[in-house]
A and B are shown apart, each in its own frame.
Chain A
């Protein structure tokens, strides 16, 4: 069986990460990985909830070395955790927070000992080993598992690192505002650091000043991996921005204006990544230079009528894409938004059909529908709205019930209570009718 190393770094003294107390060498990292492996319970699945990116990476590496599978749900709501327990009854939770209330057997991230590892050896991992299962929200409401093998993930981030020019330069430090548990953060802040000789910053900066602090805490060259929401807030805060080598953005298309502003203020190229949970990342573009996306080497798009499927490269089976894609050449394409049933809010994706199904299963809801207003395209998040018939129920109770099932970004705002939904004679709810309903309401509110 072909195998691939855990990381592409070779020297025991190469820097694999930066923590608050300084650089972590590969030797130290592998020592801590062994210490964590020794503490693992018997279960073969884990939910790695570490919010510190370095601890997450140690947890991931330890799981890979121990042959355990890391489960990555998009949001571990109580209902999703219940379903994950059905999927993998032996699952345990690795956490670095004393506040973790997850209803699973918990392994607290340990205080690592200072003992040196025995012999220095970089673990070799079988390419076919299933190291992670990523979940998307299925249309029937239950999370859909997407298994990921080590070989496919490594091949994907190697292609990404090559495209971004990380393999021919001085190793850089990667600072991410996106969580490592999300597919984009998983690939671009952890796996790509491991397989481009780069180092990852432990930080999970949130406020604009945190991003500046996390950047300034590590040496150049450095790359910021972020999303339109964080980048817009970061620029708008009007802070002095630390020097930076490149910026990576994904989860939603950037507006042309924000892309230009980022490059002008940072004096660094901004690259966007396109991909999905199912496929991993498949294309990149530099939006200040072209609207066209360039596929990663080996990836092909197959068009059959309205459906576009991706294959080749690291993609192991033919996968239907959820966006409207217009191929321009074999290697380039344009993106024209998502297919109507899907909503994508801040990089979290859900099917409208599944949200509607969920809404209508809540006790007390007689009829209900979600509505996604047209997006404004100014890098602000557009929120879902919903309209329900639920006599005797109020908004706080309904929202609390929804919160058990879905990520808070999908909670409707506004949530409108009505006597009946404006269904037409065939029982359908045309978009235009819903649009008019919410517009009337907001006009009344601001009047």
Chain B
């Protein structure tokens, strides 16, 4: 079932690593997957992503996992707040 409620499914470490690698590949980031810790912020002082990166990464995520990202609140940065929150969202919403 697909809805835009907060995900109740937790992601596995394997999925988190896969998502980290997808972002590194798609955004040409200068880190390795091991260096992206699950709870560190992806925005700002963490990995340093900005909204253009998020749009690019969201497109890749949509294609790979067959889902559409939606802003769940006034703060559209929530899904991309950390690798864990992004991976949890994917785990809950993926159709492939």
What is the interface of chain A, defined by CB distance below 8 A to chain B? 51-52, 96-97, 99, 205-210, 213, 229-230, 233, 236-237, 239, 346, 380-381, 395-396, 399-400, 403, 408-409, 411, 413-415
- B: contact size bracket: 20 to 34
Which are the 8 A-B pairs with shortest beta-carbon distances?
A: A209-B68, A408-B50, A207-B69, A206-B76, A233-B55, A209-B70, A381-B52, A210-B71
| A-side contacts of B28, CB under 8 Å | 413
CB distance from B46 to the nearest CB of A (A): 9
Q: 1/0 per residue B40-56: CB within 8 Å of A? A: 00001100101110111
Which of B44, B55, B56, B59 lies in contact with A206, CB distance below 8 A? B55
- Pair A236/B74 contact, Cβ less than 8 Å: no
| A-side contacts of B69, CB under 8 Å | 207, 209
| A-side contacts of B62, CB under 8 Å | 208, 237
B58 within 8 A of A: yes
- Pair A237/B59 contact, Cβ less than 8 Å: yes
- Pair A207/B55 contact, Cβ less than 8 Å: yes
- Pair B55/A408 contact, Cβ less than 8 Å: no
B30 within 8 A of A: yes
B3 within 8 A of A: no
Report the separation of the CA atoms of residues A399 and B30 in the bound assembly, to the nearest whole angstrom.
13
B75 within 8 A of A: yes
| A-side contacts of B30, CB under 8 Å | 395, 413-415
CB<8 Å pairs between A and B, sample of 7: A99-B75, A206-B76, A207-B55, A207-B70, A207-B76, A346-B52, A396-B45
| B-side contacts of A381, CB under 8 Å | 52
| A-side contacts of B44, CB under 8 Å | 403, 408
Report the separation of the CA atoms of residues A229 and B52 in the bound assembly, to the nearest whole angstrom.
8
- If A233-B59, A236-B59 touch, whether A409 touches B71 (CB-CB below 8 Å) is no
Report the separation of the CA atoms of residues A239 and B58 in the bound assembly, to the nearest whole angstrom.
14
Nearest neighbor of B54 in chain A, beta-carbon distance: A206
Nearest neighbor of A380 in chain B, beta-carbon distance: B56
Report the separation of the CA atoms of residues A320 and B84 in the bound assembly, to the nearest whole angstrom.
49
CB distance from B22 to the nearest CB of A (A): 16
- Pair B70/A409 contact, Cβ less than 8 Å: no
CB distance from A145 to the nearest CB of B (A): 25
Report the separation of the CA atoms of residues A182 and B48 in the bound assembly, to the nearest whole angstrom.
22
Nearest neighbor of A230 in chain B, beta-carbon distance: B55
- Pair A207/B58 contact, Cβ less than 8 Å: yes
| A-side contacts of B58, CB under 8 Å | 207-208, 233
Q: Could you list 9 further interchain pairs (A-B, Cβ under 8 angstroms) beyond the known A239-B68, A395-B30?
A: A96-B74, A206-B55, A207-B55, A207-B68, A207-B76, A399-B48, A403-B48, A409-B50, A409-B52
